[in-house]
Amino acid sequence: MKSLRLALIAAAFAAPAMAQEGPSTGGQAIGGLFDALGLRKPVPAPADFVRETRPRQLDYVPLAPAPEPVQAKKNASDLQAAGAALDRAAAENKRRAARVKIPD
């Protein structure tokens, strides 16, 4: 009985330590299992013509336009305008909420 307790204590302390080294997703765990069992082949090397025709550095062309840079500093008039817009939105929401009837 004492050895069972010691084994359970050791397992309780070993599990978090092993979890840090384990895969972060279930797919990685399954892939590791397939690799260990030899069920998955390694990725073959590309053919010579593919290796020769591909550029070393792939140029990525985004499909969506680049986001506008956010202005880090705002002046006082911009902040007051934003505050006034929020106050108007809050007043409108309170006005709409006053019309809602709560069912019994």
In a domain, 17, yes or no: yes
Predicted TM-score (pTM) of this structure: 0.31
d(CA 18, CA 88): 54
d(CA 32, CA 40): 9
Tokens of 71: 């202005």
Say which amino acid occupies 35. D
Per-residue pLDDT band for 13 (boundaries 50, 70, 90) equals: low
pLDDT digits (tens, 9 = 90+) for 18-31: 556 777 788 888 88
Q: Which residue has the higher pLDDT, 64 or 87?
A: 87
d(CA 73, CA 79): 10
| Nearest C-alpha neighbor of 7 from the set 57, 21, 63, 15 | 15
Predicted confidence at residue 5, as pLDDT, reads 72
The number of distinct structural domains making up the chain is 1
Tokens of 21: 């080294």
Q: Is 31 exposed, middle or buried (0-12, 13-18, 19+ CB in 10 A)?
A: middle
Predicted confidence at residue 6, as pLDDT, reads 67
pLDDT digits (tens, 9 = 90+) for 22-55: 777 888 888 888 888 988 888 899 899 988 888 8
Range of the domain at 8: 1-41
Tokens 């690799």 locate to: 35
In a domain, 37, yes or no: yes
For residue 17, is pLDDT > 60? Answer: no
